Structure formats: structure tokens, C-alpha cells
Amino acid sequence: MATHTLSILKPSVNNLTTRIFVRAAGLDFDEVDVWGKKSTPEFLAKDPADLTPLLEEAGLPKGALWESCAIMQYLCNKHGLDRFYPTDPGERAMVDSAMFYLVGTLYPLVTRATYPALGFPQYAGEVGTSDADDAMKVKAQQDAAAALAGPLDVYRAWFLDGRQFIGGDHPSIADIRFAASLEFLRAIDYDLPAWAEEYMASMEAALGEAYTEPATDVRGYIDYVKSQALQQA
Ligand SMILES: N[C@@H](CCC(=O)N[C@@H](CS)C(=O)NCC(=O)O)C(=O)O
């Protein structure tokens, strides 16, 4: 049995984040695809949030950890992976800020803009799960897509600020989280600015198969839902 076990869902970019990371970091890991196998008493006993990715590793106080960014932070701390998570407090704070801004601000917009196209459930209390009519749901999706431009440009102007990666010359864990999240924008053919296209290409070139292999699952799922939508049109 490997030192690290990741329970994952292959079409998910939250999961893609950690799948790229364990490969790029060269860690010993097993992946367990839990599609259709979550929400069981056994799974909930180790992950009461019922969320993936889930890391199981002997050094964790409860043996298990969810939240993609926390998983990467833990593994960097545990294995001294400073090239992905700088030890200088100021540099580390920038990486943390980029990840919190993603999870708290950018990604909720990504979900509202793309989940309808991806066929993923939206969150309770949002227009997408309300009794609003289809026109209002389409408008909410379009509003979210339009609102993406602002936070996206914050990454260009502030976190990247002329550097190739948020981590400088080498992708950091914030870069992995950011690039993986942008993959979902292909589901709505979002018109990414040229800098973001270049950035994604640089990420894939820098990380090679560690990026491409798990990203193929997300891309394959997006191709599938697009082909289904075309058939229904
Ligand atoms: N902020 C979390 C989000 C985790 C999350 O929402 N995971 C989804 C997959 S994308 C999940 O497991 N949802 C429950 C389900 O699909 O049943 C992270 O970054 O790990």
C-alpha cells in the first residue's frame, strides 16, 4: 500500500489539483476513484464533509484530510517541498492569498458559470437550484461568467505581476490550483485572455505528464458533455 491514498472524482478540478500535485512532487500515492462510492457510512466516517479530494496518510491526526489546498500545504510541509510552497513568510503569504482568493472568490463564480454546462449540481440557495424559471437561470449563469473577468485579471496584475508563475520561475501550489480551475472554463468556451492561455500552456509545459495525464480526465469529461449537448440541440 502506498504512503498516500487519494480518493478522487476524475471529472473534478478540485480533485485535479491534488492529482497534478502528487505527480509533480513525485510522491508515492494510490488513487481510488470514488465515483458512485461516496456517501457511505465508511466514507463519511473518515470524511464527514463527503467531499473529494480526500487524502489518507498515517501522519494525520485523524488519518484523513479534505480540501485540495490544505492537502497540498500539508504535503509540502511534511516533505519539505519548498519549490512548490516557499518558506519565506512573505512569499508563502502570497501563495496562500492566491489560493484563498481562488477558493473564496474565483471558484464560486466558476461553479455558477460552468456547472450548468457540466451537469454538476449547484449549491442550495443559488438561482440555479431555486424555483426561478429557465431564463433567470441562464441569466445567472451569464452574469457569473461575465463577473469572472475581474478576479481573473487580479491574478494577472497582482499575483503574476509579470512573472511566469505565482511561484516565480517555478509553479507553486497556488499555480496548480489556479490552472486546474481554469480547465473548467473550456466547458463554456470562455474567451480566456491571451495571457491566461499562455499561462496555462506554460503550466502544462513546466509540469509535463504530471499535468497532462490527470487533466485528460477533466478534458475528456468536458468533451463528453459538449458532445451530448450538441446531440440534444
Ligand atoms: N474546496 C474543496 C471543494 C471540494 C468539492 O467540492 N469536491 C466535490 C467534487 S468537485 C465533491 O466531492 N462533491 C461531492 C459530490 O460530488 O458528491 C476543495 O478544494 O477540495
In whole angstroms, what is the distance from residue 166 CA to residue 159 CA?
A: 6
pLDDT mean over 50-68: 97
Residue 53 CA to ligand 1 center (angstroms) comes to 7
User: Which of 8, 3, 49, 45 lies closest to 27 in space, CA to CA?
Assistant: 3
Same domain? For 113 and 222 the reply is yes
pLDDT mean over 152-173: 97
In whole angstroms, what is the distance from residue 65 CA to residue 71 CA?
A: 7
pTM: 0.97
Same domain? For 34 and 124 the reply is no
Same domain? For 34 and 65 the reply is yes
Atom of ligand 1 nearest to the CA of 69: 19
Q: Which domain holds residue 153?
A: 89-232
Residue 198 CA to ligand 1 center (angstroms) comes to 27
pLDDT tens-digit readout, 67-114: 999 999 999 999 999 999 999 999 999 999 999 999 999 999 999 999
Q: Judging by beta carbons within 10 Å of its beta carbon (0-12, 13-18, 19+), is residue 95 exposed, middle or buried?
A: buried
Q: For Cα atoms 10, 171, 164, give the angle at the middle one, nearest 5 degrees.
A: 125
pLDDT at 117: 95
Q: Hey, which of 51, 102, 120 would you mutate to test ligand 1's pocket, going by the most ligand atoms within 8 Å of its Cβ?
A: 51
Pairing status of strand 4-8 against strand 29-33 = parallel
How many domains, the chain? 2
**Atom 11 in ligand 1: which residue has the minimum CA distance?**
51
